[in-house]
Structure formats: C-alpha cells, structure tokens
Amino acid sequence: MKQLEKLDKYHVILASQSPRRKMLLEKLDIKFEVRTYRYYETLPPQIDPCDVAECIALQKALYVPKDELPKNFLLITADTIVVIDGEILGKPKDEKEAVTMLEKLSGKRHEVMTGVVIITENVVKNFTEKSKVWFKDLTKTQIENYVKKYQPLDKAGAYGAQDAEAEIIDRIEGSYFNVIGLPIGRVMEELLGIEF
C-alpha cells in the first residue's frame, strides 16, 4: 500500500509463531521478517479480561532481546483471547478441552480481543481491538467433527473463523481479521500514525 512506503526506513519484525498473523500482515504489502521466541506468560492477579491480550502482547515485546534487533527496527507483537461471560478461553490443551470450549460458545455471543504492541527505538504504541462473534447452535456431534477435522488446539477459544466460518459462526460485528488474529486495518492506522 502506497501510504505505507514510509515504513521502508524500518526493519519490520513480526515476533509471532502464528502463521495466520504472518498471512494477515502480508496483506499490508510491507516488507517484514518473522522471528519466534520462547515465551512464558504471567498475568497480574485479578486482571480485567479486557486488559489481558494487551498485557500479554506487551510482555512478548519486552521479552524480545533488544540487542538482537537491527537498527531502525519496528517490532510488532500480538495476542488474541476469547472471552465469554467474563471467562477467558485460551488455547485448549487437548481435544476434550476444545470440545468443552466450543460447547460454551455454542448458540451464544462472545468477544474476541486482540492486543497489539508496536515498538520502535522512539515509539511504543499499544491497543486492544474487540470484535463480537455469535455462534450457531451446534450439536455435540458437529463440535466433535469440527475438532477432529480442524484440530484447533493452537487457537484461542478452540476455533478459527477462517477454517469453517459457515459451519460455526452466525455473524461477526467488528473486524473479521481481528477474529483471525490481527486487526490489520487498525494496525495500518497505527503504523501510519508513527512520527518519522
């Protein structure tokens, strides 16, 4: 995108293990590289669910060794969570937990929150994008078949909108890309707002 050409002065790094975030950032048509780091998240006690994703994204950014970053770096980190009735659903540990999560979401509305952090040598930007998602009423058989077919163990809430949107999702209010894992419209807006 022509308006993002000014980012050429930066060495853009996406610190993420998510292939979906890489795919989404590629839509902005900017040059970047992906780096992965082992990261163990910790959260303050009694943190508001609305703050969790942004807190984890910030921890991920702070975990990156700055002496390993090139000059003129621009680092992007993100974290996505699913929240229903005040309960945070992260990544399921196994198929059984994935089925349990999807049963909680079936026929109800939940929120998907992605926290994003953008850091340069002189700038720190962080924000949380929220989308509302309504699930269809799903039978246990439909849920079990979905889990077997898509193996969504690497996804918050045990589902990926891009996998089987028509099968499980009734409607989405807000950014669809946010539900996948990176709200690229908002990311572009924040990148354009960086002072050069």
Whole-number percent of the chain with pLDDT over 90: 76
pTM over the 0.85 mark: yes
Rounded to the nearest 10 degrees, what angle do helices 140-150 and 161-168 cross at?
160
What is the signed CA dihedral for 192, 19, 179, 98, rounded to 10 degrees?
A: -160
**CATH code assigned to 2-192:** 3.90.950.10
Domain extents in the chain: 2-192
pLDDT in tens, 17-51: 999 999 999 999 899 999 998 777 777 777 888 89
CB-based contacts of 57, cutoff 8 Å, min separation 6: 77, 78, 79, 115, 116, 117, 126
Q: Beta-carbon neighbour count of residue 157 at 10 Å?
A: 27
Q: Beta-carbon neighbour count of residue 102 at 10 Å?
A: 24
* Nearest partner of 17 among 162, 182, 130, judged by Cα: 182
Query: Known catalytic residues?
Result: 79
pLDDT class for 56, splitting at 50, 70, 90?
A: very high
Judged against a pLDDT cut of 80, whether residue 164 lies above it is answered with no
Whether residue 69 contacts residue 75, with contact meaning beta carbons closer than 8 Å, is answered with: yes
